[in-house]
Amino acid sequence: MVAGKGSTDGFLSQDDVRAIVHEALAGAGLAGPGLARKRVLVIIPDGTRTAPIPLFFRLIHEALAGRVAALDFLVALGTHQPMSDDALLRLVGLSAAEREGTYGDVGLFNHRWDLPGTLVSLGTIPAGEIEALSRGMLVQEVPVTVNGMILDYDQLIVCGPVFPHEVVGFSGGNKYFFPGISGPEMINLTHWLGALITSYEIIGTRDTPVRAVIDRAASFVPVPRLCLAPVVTYYGLAGLYAGTPEEAWAAAADLSSQVHIVYRDAPLQRVLSVMPEMYDDLWTAAKGMYKMEPAIADGGEVVIFAPHLTEISYTHGKVIDEVGYHVRDYFVKQWDRFKDYPWGVLAHSTHLRGGGTYDAETGIERPRIQVTLATGIPRERCEKVNLGYLAPCDVDVSQWQGREEEGVLVVPKAGEMLYRVR
């Protein structure tokens, strides 16, 4: 049963949130007596998602601290960079003094996908099952590995927002386990499956093959799972749903489809995606392309405007420098050449480059739209990875504004709202 509420034209108050959180905790057996031996782990997003994590952190602490044996928080980084101690404090809204005082008993941990010693195997999804779940797009078994910390706890709480997402359709729910705190096998398989479908087709779709694989992997988790699924806009908290990761996520995704999608009457010719500083490399700032691609006319252009960015990917930059950014069929039609690269990186490449064609006989690649970087990444590197370059100093945002009738649009704080043509 799902608790919570949401609205397309209003926002939840702090009292609303507190009531839903307390109801959810009670429903999970985290209220009343008998909690002294329970250990609780809360899985949260990193700083590349808009969400009132400080509010949830304090409300959960308020409800459980001193009543449970342990209350810890694990950041579901996937393959993102580990957060520094200072960044972790900012994420949960703590001062150094608060960390040493009232909240000194709370553990704050980064997930490390790249350290095998941190992972445990929960089993394997057989090839035949992957074939069925992926609707025939992949036929291979996949080990289900996850951060071993989860086995040290009696209750897991997923607390992270739901937005349209380029790999799975909508973020949130069990995605905080896979790929959020999973090993590389599930990360690579789910991302490549999303790439085969294409971001254009999958983003903003609720029920997808990738979600089916993720939910199946989550069924291997032997610890009780509770999900707090907020729907967040730049202006406030539009909704919050609590329940199982499957049910709470579904309710949040339904609301997200109403508040996070902007419909246009005609395709756009040029878009300036102004990226917030919470995106610290192109790997994360690429959302400025993903969220715009469905609304761009053939031959159009997305400019990712982020002068603060100086790196393509802190984790995967060397691999991207080697393979570049290409349409899906560039890899599919040369699979023997690329199959041994990390599939998650290949997926990111196709998601950012967008739709298009590749002729294996002629070697000619024809992307549907142009993707241009106006960042701190030098021209030479942009050209090396098959992207356009525009000097940030040459971007006058005012020259882009007020031109929607021409098919020219500025998107401030790009990356979370999805644009589509009716």
Written as one string, the DSSP assignment of 96-164 is: HHHHHTTTTT-EEEE--TT-GGGEEEEEEE-HHHHHHHTTTS----EEEEEEGGGGG-SEEEEE----E
Given 219, 235, 259, which residue is the final one in a domain?
259
Instruction: With residue 39 as reference, give the H or E element that holds it.
Output: strand 39-44
Which pLDDT score is estimated for 79? Answer: 84
Same domain, 355 and 215: no
Same domain, 254 and 270: no
Same domain, 62 and 165: yes
132's CB contacts (< 8 A; 6+ apart) are none
Given 240, 259, 278, which residue is the final one in a domain?
259
Same domain, 206 and 266: no
Which pLDDT score is estimated for 121? Answer: 96
Q: Do strands 268-274 and 70-75 pair parallel, antiparallel, or not at all (unpaired)?
A: unpaired
Same domain, 161 and 270: no
List the chain pLDDT tens, one digit each, 422 residues: 899 999 999 999 999 999 999 999 999 999 877 788 899 999 999 988 889 999 999 999 999 998 999 999 999 998 888 999 999 999 999 999 999 999 999 999 999 988 888 999 999 999 999 999 999 999 999 999 999 999 999 999 999 999 999 999 999 999 999 999 999 999 999 999 999 999 999 999 999 999 999 999 999 999 999 999 999 998 899 999 999 999 999 999 999 999 999 999 999 999 999 999 999 999 999 999 999 999 999 999 999 999 999 999 999 999 999 999 999 999 999 999 999 999 999 999 999 999 999 999 999 999 999 999 999 999 999 999 999 999 999 999 999 999 999 999 999 999 999 999 99
Q: Do strands 268-274 and 364-367 pair parallel, antiparallel, or not at all (unpaired)?
A: unpaired
Same domain, 237 and 279: no
Same domain, 9 and 52: yes
Q: Which domain holds residue 359?
A: 262-421
Same domain, 126 and 109: yes
Same domain, 239 and 273: no
**Vertex 190: Cα angle to 185 and 196 (nearest 5):** 125
Phi then psi dihedrals of residue 123, to 5 deg: 140, -165
Q: How many domains does the chain have?
A: 2
CATH code, domain with 239: 3.40.50.11440
Q: Within 13 A of 214's CA, how many CA atoms are on the CB side?
A: 31
Which pLDDT score is estimated for 33? Answer: 77
Same domain, 248 and 275: no
Q: Are 112 and 131 in contact (CB under 8 A)?
A: no
Same domain, 274 and 203: no
Same domain, 252 and 300: no
- Sheet order of strands, 388-389 included: 388-389, 370-375, 296-306, 268-274, 408-411
Given 224, 259, 294, which residue is the final one in a domain?
259
In the block, which residue shows the tokens 């291997």? 220
Instruction: With residue 274 as reference, give the H or E element that holds it.
Output: strand 268-274
CATH code, domain with 312: 3.90.226.30
